[in-house]
Amino acid sequence: MSASRIEELQESASETRSFSLRDLIRRRPESITFALLVAICVIVAVINPAFLQPSTLIDIGRASVVMGLFALGVFIILAAGGIDVSFTAIAAFTMYSLTVLVLNYFPAMPIVLILLVAILGGMLLGIVNGLLVHHLKVPSLIVTIGTQYLFRGFLLSFIGTVWIMSLPPQMGAFGRMPLFQFESANGAVVTLPFYFLVLPLAALVTWWILNRTLMGRAIFAVGGNANVASRLGYNLRTVQIFLFGYAGALAGLAGIIHVCANRQANPFDLVGTEINVIAAVVLGGARITGGTGTVLGTLLGVLLIVVINSVLVMVGIPSTWQRLVVGIFILLAAAFFVTRQRKK
């Protein structure tokens, strides 16, 4: 075989590899998130091998639960071209009012019923968002900014502002219930809580809705073009109510898990975490304009944010710098996805 022919084959193979990589990034943008997550973990593990200790990894998993539930709700709304910033207010309203209710009126309420009431309460508040978005015909960002203040204002004005340091026993027991535990080398007992299972279960349900149901098709259709989706026969009112109701249900569940895990109910909790959650969804490959994204990408985005925050805490970087780093990642992700869209 001639030298020129060999060069041609090498160039062809190189172009094929390049095309395959571009095609992978185009079809699976979360692959970038995964690669970035792996790179950060490898670099940190080389610098500080303690990062790979089971206790650190379990802490990361535990910290991902509440943010992951929030992110799944934000993602499903984002996939339909909307955005919700009221989920932390829904979580705070649900978790605090339900804790007060159980303490004062139903101290023997089973934990399963408490979780179901939290889900139902969050869903009802989310449905309020959905109805307002549909009937007012204004962007969901404006509506949820308003309801965020409405829910928090009602909570602080009429329900309470006092920290509850002593939870009902069944809620405290649920927060401490181990999925598994072991003793580390230094003698400390490391526990992965049972409530961790809620996140993969919620992710599985969300994936099934988006990929195996007509509602999932409707969500992505509305995110692609709401007017076209309406002409195709999709009921926009039903879609909006389902979206915000589902996101509210996840927020209510996240709120009560937050209370049980921290063993206290603070009505001022979760304020300011909205940016981290939205950042996780965007870093997972979802576009703000809607119509794209995956559950896997959302979970990878959550892990990326949690790992970044954990790493910055381990090296003693202040929280203000943590926000700076997250902001840089958001800008880089936005630049990458905009560039990718222009090339398409």
Q: By percentage, how much of the chain surpasses pLDDT 90?
A: 54
| Confidence label for 50 from pLDDT (cuts 50, 70 and 90) | confident
For residue 132, the number of C-alpha atoms closer than 13 Å in the C-beta half-sphere is 22
Residue 181: its H or E element: strand 178-183
| Confidence label for 333 from pLDDT (cuts 50, 70 and 90) | low
The answer to whether 174 touches 260, Cβ cutoff 8 Å, is yes
CB < 8 Å & 24+ apart, contacts of 112-118: 114/170, 114/171, 114/256, 115/253, 115/256, 118/94, 118/252, 118/253, 118/255, 118/256
Maximum CA pair distance of the chain? 88
Instruction: State residue 174's pLDDT score.
Output: 95
Q: By percentage, how much of the chain surpasses pLDDT 70?
A: 86
Among 28-32, 167-171, 292-296, name the one with the lowest average pLDDT: 28-32
For residue 176, which amino acid is it? R
Instruction: State residue 172's pLDDT score.
Output: 92
> Using CA atoms, how far apart are residues 130 and 13, in angstroms rounded to an integer?
51
Instruction: State residue 26's pLDDT score.
Output: 58
What does each C-alpha distance from 252 to 32, 39, 89, 215 come to in angstroms? 31, 34, 10, 22
pLDDT tens-place string over residues 108-148 = 999 999 999 999 999 999 999 999 999 998 899 999 999 99
Instruction: State residue 9's pLDDT score.
Output: 46
Stretch 172-180: mean pLDDT: 91
Instruction: State residue 25's pLDDT score.
Output: 54
Whether 21 shows a pLDDT value over 50: the answer reads no
Stretch 285-305: mean pLDDT: 86
Among 189-193, 207-211, 296-300, name the one with the lowest average pLDDT: 189-193
Residue 158 carries which DSSP code?
I
Whether 307 shows a pLDDT value over 80: the answer reads yes
pLDDT tens-place string over residues 239-286 = 999 999 999 999 999 999 999 999 999 999 998 889 889 888 988 888
Which of 51-65, 84-98, 187-201, 296-310 is modeled with the greatest confidence?
84-98
Instruction: State residue 23's pLDDT score.
Output: 58
What residues form DSSP beta bridges with 182? 190
